[in-house]
Chains A and B, each alone.
Chain A
Amino acid sequence: MSETHEHAHDHEHPPHAHDGKPIQEDALPPLEAHVLETAVRELLIEKGVISSDDIRRSIEERESRNPALGAKIVARAWADPEFKSKLMNESDEALLTFGINMSPMELCVVENTQEVHNMVVCTLCSCYPRPVLGIPPAWYKRRDYRSRAVREPRAVLQEFGTQIPEAKQVRVHDSNADLRYLVLPQRPDGTEGWDEEQLAKLVTRDSMIGVSDALTPAEIED
């Protein structure tokens, strides 16, 4: 990126201190890992093992995933008990019907019930079910979420605006190794007879991480 950043003013400019500098400067030298990645990538391309287009396509594919996909899966699990059972017990096979391949990871689906509320964290880094939900939110990777979710989950849930009844058990899943976790939220009341498309609108990203519940029918009105 250019250090000079000419800044042609063809856009509305928000009133903040700018001093003629880009907001984020690339002042730091590249990490050793970045240099290594570039070297390996260039070698692989030069030797014809993979092409630049293969890499671009792979990035495009990864970044095309988003929580709407997870919402469809949850909606089907709510609507179809047979699919739900497959998703809980042989998730690989259930995900294939959505064209998702988690390999070499496996998806572990944990179900919220009247008795249990599940939430997911990766204390060691930022493991996340990317093929199903896409890129994790910034807070998921932050040290405060990662350290506090295991230590005081009820306080963290409360800060997310999620009230867990005193009688409910809170079960935290530390996604630290080869599984990735998807929370199956409780199906909201008042959705009897809804089809999958309607149900999917109730399923938010955060409800599939377990820091909130699914939306209620009243919350998606108008």
Chain B
Amino acid sequence: MEARFQPGDRVRILDRDQPGHVRTPIYVRGKTGVIERIVGSFPNPELLAVGHSGLPYKMLYRVNFAQSELWDDYDGKPEDTLEIEIYEHWLAPA
């Protein structure tokens, strides 16, 4: 499976409302980060959770965010970051 994004690429997390076993927390939706690494392809948890095989597999990435991007009033250091795993179908180029 080919990865659509590469480490260093800027990506935006899609801001869509989707019920079910979704592994994209609301606090990162609509936010912009940078691909930290390609983790590999995994069964789609949204399908796996409801009795399907999880096929087709989805490419999974670790995305790095500046905390100040996630929270308007973040009061730590500007360098502080958060890293989280996001599946490719939740990512758009930014």
Contacts and interface: CB of A to CB of B under 8 A. Distances in A.
Nearest to A174: B84
Contacts of A171: 80-83
Interface in A28-51: none
A66 B60 CA distance: 29
Contact of B80 (A106, A108, A124, A169): A169
A69 interface: no
Interface in A168-192: 168-174, 176-179
Interface in A187-201: none
Contacts, number: 64
Contacts of B30: none
B41 to A, nearest CB: 10
A79 interface: no
Given A152-B75, A153-B76, A169 B81 contact: yes
Instruction: Bin chain A's interface residue count.
Output: 20 to 34
A156 B74 CA distance: 13
Interface string B47-78: 00000000000001010000100110011110
Interface string A153-174: 1100000000000101111111
A142 interface: no
Interface residues of B, number: 26
A176 B84 CA distance: 7
B82 A150 contact: yes
Contacts of A154: 76, 80
Contacts of B79: 169
A123 B27 contact: yes
B23 A124 contact: yes
Contacts of A153: 76, 80
Nearest to B70: A150
A176 B54 CA distance: 17
Contacts of B81: 169-172
B11 to A, nearest CB: 15
Interface string A99-123: 0000000101000000000000001
Contacts of A170: 76-77, 80-81
Interface of A: 106, 108, 123-124, 150-154, 166, 168-174, 176-179
Interface of B: 23-25, 27, 39-40, 42, 45, 60, 62, 67, 70-71, 74-77, 79-87
